[in-house]
Amino acid sequence: MDVAADLRARLAESLVAARVLRDPRWVEAFRQVPRHVFLPGFFVQRPDGAWAPVTAEHPDHLALVYRDEVRVTQLDNDDRAWQQALATGAVPGVPTSSSSMPTIMAIMLEALAVAPGDRVLEIGTGTGYNAALLCHALGEERVTSIDVDPGVLARAEARLTAAGHHPTCVAGDGALGYPSRAPYDRVLGTCAVSRVPVPWLEQTAPGGLIVTTLNRPVGAGLVRLTVRDGRATGRVLVEDGRFMPLRAHRQAWAEEALSAALTAEPTTSRTTLLSSRTALDPASPFEFFAGLALAEVAVAGDPVRLAHADGSWVRHRGAVVDQGGPRALWDLVEDAYRQWRALGRPRRHQFTFTATPTSQHFALDGTTLTWPLP
């Protein structure tokens, strides 16, 4: 019995049962493309937060590969972390490359609504597994995939070759797209962007689709946009999706500001009726709307903290909220909560998103309300 094939069939079945996978082309791709070829080694996080290496020799390697879970393959943009983990057992670090959670991959591939002959540009090659699924469904000559990390890309390309696929793999900044192979019928961002890059608008064929996640610590989400006349517009998808951000779209200042908020002296300290969970838990129906009031705000837990690059910060412990800096961010969230209730508690899929070369904004269905990206 082929254990990997069996595990793969079960994973595909579970994605179908969960209704995230519907198109027979993707069902077949998930059944056939061997994820383990793209994940000969990866990190698993231990309860203490450190990352331990799992290699093909590990007794549970295949079982772990075919779970519906993200598999982290790089920490801190530095391949030496892997070598170190092999030597010492576990290392600290922030994930910078991975094979995404199969559920999210399936949601995004379904959202792409591909037709035979479509040319696809994938941003974020990572392990190459998603590129292989695209090759399986559309043919390798239709697939272009970019990763900013040449080492990551070289490994992905070798594994794609081993799995029998030869898409066009490009080392470069995905924010620039890849004009030599444009136009694309579909652009798929598998790393989150703070704004939809203008080259994606320019390189998508008229009527083509962009599917990507937006890099928002609060209110992140998947969008599917149709491009026409250099402008992309479409809906925030009902399914949530959170991805590691495009390298240049990471918030480098955030760690320092969030750690300063642990001990900073507040300008105001008071009680609040709004729980941090209602505002910040991705499962909360208000969280997307809270994100509109908290654009570019970074978040950390234990105790819950918010911070903005302008120096504003929040510390939320129990029912007490401490605030400092030029803007009272928690006051803004409470205002947003009142507005959200007055609007009938709209959910994420009631919002649209529009990107033009000069501005990008969310809008709420049936109203004239818009929220520009800063």
Ligand X SMILES: C[S@@+](CC[C@H](N)C(=O)[O-])C[C@H]1O[C@@H](n2cnc3c(N)ncnc32)[C@H](O)[C@@H]1O
The residues that are catalytic are 100
CA proximity to 297, closest of 251, 362, 347 = 251
Tokens of 31: 């059944």
Give least dist CB 59 to ligand X, A.
24
CA proximity to 328, closest of 298, 293, 363 = 293
Task: Give CA–CA dist 214/219, Å, rounded.
Answer: 9
Task: Give CA–CA dist 317/276, Å, rounded.
Answer: 9
Q: Cβ closer to ligand X: 130 or 360?
A: 130
Task: Give CA–CA dist 36/194, Å, rounded.
Answer: 31
Residue in this structure with the two tokens 């879970």, named with its chain if needed: 69
Give least dist CB 276 to ligand X, A.
27
Residue 175's contacts (CB-CB under 8 Å, 6 or more residues apart) are 123, 193, 197, 199, 246, 248
Q: Cβ closer to ligand X: 63 or 248?
A: 248
- Give me the residues paired with residue 42 across strands: 54
Give least dist CB 280 to ligand X, A.
23
Nearest residue to ligand X, scored by beta-carbon proximity: 126
Q: Cβ closer to ligand X: 110 or 149?
A: 149
CA proximity to 142, closest of 173, 191, 181, 99 = 181
Q: Cβ closer to ligand X: 51 or 313?
A: 51
Residues engaged in binding ligand X (CB under 6 A): 97-100, 123-124, 126-127, 129-130, 146-149, 152, 173-175, 190-191, 243-244, 246-248
Give least dist CB 27 to ligand X, A.
18
Q: Cβ closer to ligand X: 202 or 331?
A: 202
Q: Cβ closer to ligand X: 99 or 354?
A: 99
Is the dihedral angle over the CA atoms 180, 186, 190, 195 positive or is it negative?
Answer: positive
Q: Cβ closer to ligand X: 97 or 323?
A: 97
DSSP string, 198-250: HHHHHHEEEEEEEEEEE--SSS-EEEEEEEETTEEEEEEPSS----PBPGGGS
CA proximity to 218, closest of 313, 286, 320 = 286
Give least dist CB 98 to ligand X, A.
5
Give least dist CB 170 to ligand X, A.
9
CA proximity to 120, closest of 144, 153, 140 = 144
Say if residues 41 and 159 touch (Cβ distance below 8 Å): no
Give least dist CB 337 to ligand X, A.
32
Give least dist CB 271 to ligand X, A.
40
Task: Give CA–CA dist 370/246, Å, rounded.
Answer: 25
Instruction: Name the helix (H) or strand (E) containing 144.
Output: strand 143-147
Tell me, what DSSP letter sits at residue 265?
P
Is the dihedral angle over the CA atoms 102, 203, 296, 81 positive or is it negative?
Answer: positive
